[in-house]
Amino acid sequence: MPLQVYINGQLVDKDKANVSVFDHGFLFGDGIFEGMRSYGGKVFRLDEHLRRLWDSAKSIWLEIPISREEMAEAVNETLKRNNIQDGYIRLIVTRGQGTLGLDAHLCTNPQVIIITDHVALYPAEYYEKGLEIVTASTLRNNPAALNPQIKSLNYLNNIQAKIEAHHAGCVEALMLNQKGEVAEATGDNIFVVIRRTLVTPPTDAGILQGVTRGAVMELAVEAGIPVREAALTRHDVYVADECFLTGSAAEVIPVVKVDDRVIGDGRPGPITRDLLRRFHALIRKS
């Protein structure tokens, strides 16, 4: 049986899952999304993801046509129908069909789309040996122009940085903000360990406040590891004892080299490994 995709209350075969070419999500990236993981058939921190989705919608004047409870039920039903236990969920809400102009008030019928599938963002060996990444010349969007807490459908900024990583022979890139400070990777948040303290850029650095980021910070506090949010430069990353990325798809993945600078001893560090172990324990009991 082919994968089923939820579109506005209906589950359809993925090859029949269509939206209008006049939808402003397609024409202009006018919409929002959430990327989530399921473990054992249960979505990890679904309430947090839905809260962020509704916050994004409110910020861009987008009315989600169903309730939060109905959305949660639709996500779970789509997972169940596709018989996915450990998988990835992409939840999308577009502005809906409109004209070729920018006027959002002419759009009708916002589209609610739920895609579920299996995902393996990185090979297992990267979790064991760590990633090598580069700094992209493409800067993170200025938060004064588009607030990074809005998880919008327009990811061209991140895609350009990802292409730069590919050309450099890497699978991921570090992005800086307009001040030249470290922001995040193309799809993940970044952490460094400096003298046994876990440090990550603050939200005003132009980052998305990731759900997995928050979970890892909670786990670190529970483990007695000091945690602080502070502006970071590339120098701070280069001389850090450890480095790792977090995200719904990536989970927790070590970084061992940045711009040809070896991080620590070139292997995933003890705090990174401990937090990865704790995160796996958390998702198993969630």
Tell me which of 151, 162, 179, 257 is the catalytic residue.
151
Calculate helix-pair angle for 211-222, 270-285, nearest 10 degrees. 110
**Whole-Å CA distances, 63 to 25, 219, 252:** 14, 35, 33
DSSP, res 106: G
CA-wise closest residue to 259 among 225, 236, 285, 275: 236
d(CA 213, CA 207): 11
d(CA 4, CA 17): 8
> What amino acid is encoded at 199 in this protein?
V
Calculate helix-pair angle for 211-222, 46-59, nearest 10 degrees. 130
> Is 151 an annotated catalytic residue?
yes
- State whether residue 139 is helix, strand or coil: coil
In terms of DSSP bridges, do strands 131-135 and 173-176 run parallel, antiparallel, or are they unpaired?
Answer: parallel
Contact (CB, 8 A) for 96 and 23: yes
Query: Which of 277-284's residues contact partners 24+ apart within 8 Å by CB, and which partners?
Result: 278/219, 278/222, 278/223, 279/212, 279/215, 279/216, 279/219, 279/251, 279/252, 280/251, 282/215, 282/219, 283/37, 283/39, 283/44, 283/251, 284/39, 284/40
Task: Report the catalytic residues.
Answer: 151
